[in-house]
Chains A and B, each alone.
Chain A
Amino acid sequence: MRDTQPILVLDAARPADIPGAPREPALTLTVAPGDLLLIEARNNRRAALFADLCSGLVPLGSGNARFLGQDWAKLPAEMAAALRGRMGRVFADDGWIGFLDMETNILLAPLHHTRRSLDALRTDAAAMAHRFGLPGLPLGRPVDLPSTDLRRAACVRAFFTNPMLLLENPLLDQDAELLGPLLAAIEHARGRGAATIWLTRSDVVWRDSSLPVTARLRLLDRGLVGERAAA
């Protein structure tokens, strides 16, 4: 039986004011296990801020943000970091550490947060890499790979540890081949109770009515606006 505790709850959560920056709207959102939320976010800065807020990386001026029932603001730093290790993120700009090789980049989070053997992690990551159309774990450094392979590798990094997922624009308009493996991985994750927040600025993705989303939202100046799909 699926756990019914929400995975993520934003309760009128508003980022703390930054001098010189526009005041951000308060956000209210509940993400249940198995949800796939498609959020249109045209403003890159606001999309990144939203993703960081969901991850507890942004101090709040009001409201609260809870992940797996834990209030980010009340958690000690180490516990908060451990909880973030249960999130898989595809970052909007891929997000690679240039001086590390690709294998270390992909395995970094589970190496840090778990005690699973390196061989087991490599096996799982390589299997996920195959599902995303890569011949295996990429070799070399991020600068050695083409952008399409980096995008696939970013999906491998996010998905292979079976976490709750946060996808910042994982699919650009030119990544049509990636859609099938991405949806398959999302469905597999939903089947085991994970939730996915998919941020997009792509018209093609936003207008795709075949995506099995549970809610379509827009991240606007006044907050999150949208509706949930009928059950």
Chain B
Amino acid sequence: MSGVAVTDRPPGPVRRVLAATGRGTRRRVAFFLMLHALLFAVLRYAVWPGSWRRSIRAELRRALAFAVGGGLTTVILTAALAGLTLASQAIYWLGTAGEEGLIGPILVTALVRELTPVLLGLLMLGRSGAAALTELGTLRLTGQLRMLEGQGLDPFQFLVLPRAVASAVASFSLGVVFVTVALITGFVAGSLLGQVQISLLRFLSYVLGAMSIVDFMVFPAKMLLIGLLVALIPSLTALTADAGAELADLQSRSFLSGLLAVLVASLALSLAA
């Protein structure tokens, strides 16, 4: 067979653009597929008792304390602001228009179903997610993952699994706190400003009465999924970082990916409901 001469010409501008586009696309698709693989691995190993050795349980406790305990104050303050802006305004304007019956559906749709998951996801991304990326990124970039493997510890089981589970639990718990604080704060603010014509119990009954079975399913599903994503995306970004990568670059990339994932997850579950 005659050989075909291949020249070593440098690629032209069109090929360079195609190569750059292809490289970026392949990287993002690979990341997306790895994220799904990691998600299924977490779901599988989280329910297997053999995954939870003492070392892993200790790491879970540490991650949970950081995610829930450390973020509680920020969540309460943010929820209070959300309550002041959204809940009190809804109570006032709907009360003024004589549409008190719509208070429940409006708040359930806006606050419980949409605002809480997204806002809390962003808060957790900026706190737990950033911390996870710093910790795991440092291990990766300094070659210390080798040290874990050398002692017989699986980096996924020790580093990723407990963080993901802790984040999911924290997300749901803090989500409940967020909704509760936002509703009560909004009601109290409205009362102090003389805008509220109804009692707290009646207000809460409007909200609870407006929640359907689907809402009681969608809210926990969103919080758990968003909690998993805000842990897995920074973890995956860190553990797949190239040698020589900068933590600052990884942080910004992780935050943007996480933001997109939170919004898409929230929208997808809302549409599916």
Contacts and interface: CB of A to CB of B under 8 A. Distances in A.
Interface in A109-128: 109, 111-113, 118
B139 to A, nearest CB: 7
Contact of A84 (B53, B55, B151): B151
A112 B54 contact: yes
Interface stretch (B21-29, B141-149, B209-217, B262-270): B141-149
Contacts of B154: 77, 81
A178 interface: no
Secondary structure at the A interface, as helix, strand, loop or mixed, is helix
Contact of A96 (B55, B144, B146): B144
Interface residues of B, number: 21
B135 interface: yes
B207 to A, nearest CB: 40
Contacts of A113: 152
A57 B154 CA distance: 12
A89 interface: yes
Interface string B94-130: 0000000000000000000000000000000000000
B138 interface: yes
Contacts of A95: 144, 146-147, 150
Given A81-B152, A89-B151, A111 B146 contact: no
A108 B153 contact: yes
Given A77-B154, A81-B153, A108-B153, A97 B148 contact: yes
B135 A84 contact: no
Given A98-B138, A104-B58, A112-B55, A84 B150 contact: yes
A181 to B, nearest CB: 22
A55 B149 CA distance: 9
B150 A57 contact: yes
Secondary structure at the B interface, as helix, strand, loop or mixed, is helix
A82 interface: yes
Contacts of A108: 55, 151, 153
Contacts of B135: 98-99
A111 B54 contact: yes
A52 B144 contact: no
Interface residues of A, number: 28
B133 to A, nearest CB: 12
Contacts of B56: 112
A99 B154 CA distance: 17
Interface in A36-59: 48, 51-52, 55, 57
B88 to A, nearest CB: 41
B151 A85 contact: yes
Nearest to B154: A81
A173 interface: no
Contacts of A48: 146
A118 B55 CA distance: 11
Given A57-B146, A108-B55, A97 B151 contact: no
Contacts of A87: 150-152
Contact of B152 (A51, A91, A112): A112
With a 10 A CB-CB cut-off, give which of A77, A84, A95 has the most chain B CB atoms: A95
A208 interface: no
Given A96-B144, A98-B138, A52 B150 contact: yes
Contacts of B139: 97-98
The 9 closest A-B pairs by CB, nearest first: A95-B147, A84-B152, A85-B152, A112-B55, A81-B152, A109-B151, A111-B55, A99-B135, A111-B54
12 contacts: A55-B150, A81-B153, A84-B149, A87-B150, A87-B152, A89-B151, A95-B150, A98-B135, A99-B135, A104-B58, A111-B53, A111-B54
Interface of B: 53-56, 58, 135, 138-139, 142-144, 146-154, 158
Interface of A: 48, 51-52, 55, 57, 77, 80-85, 87, 89, 91, 93, 95-99, 104, 108-109, 111-113, 118
Given A85-B151, A93-B143, A111-B55, 13 more contacts: A48-B146, A52-B146, A80-B152, A81-B152, A81-B154, A87-B152, A95-B144, A97-B144, A97-B148, A98-B138, A108-B153, A112-B55, A112-B56
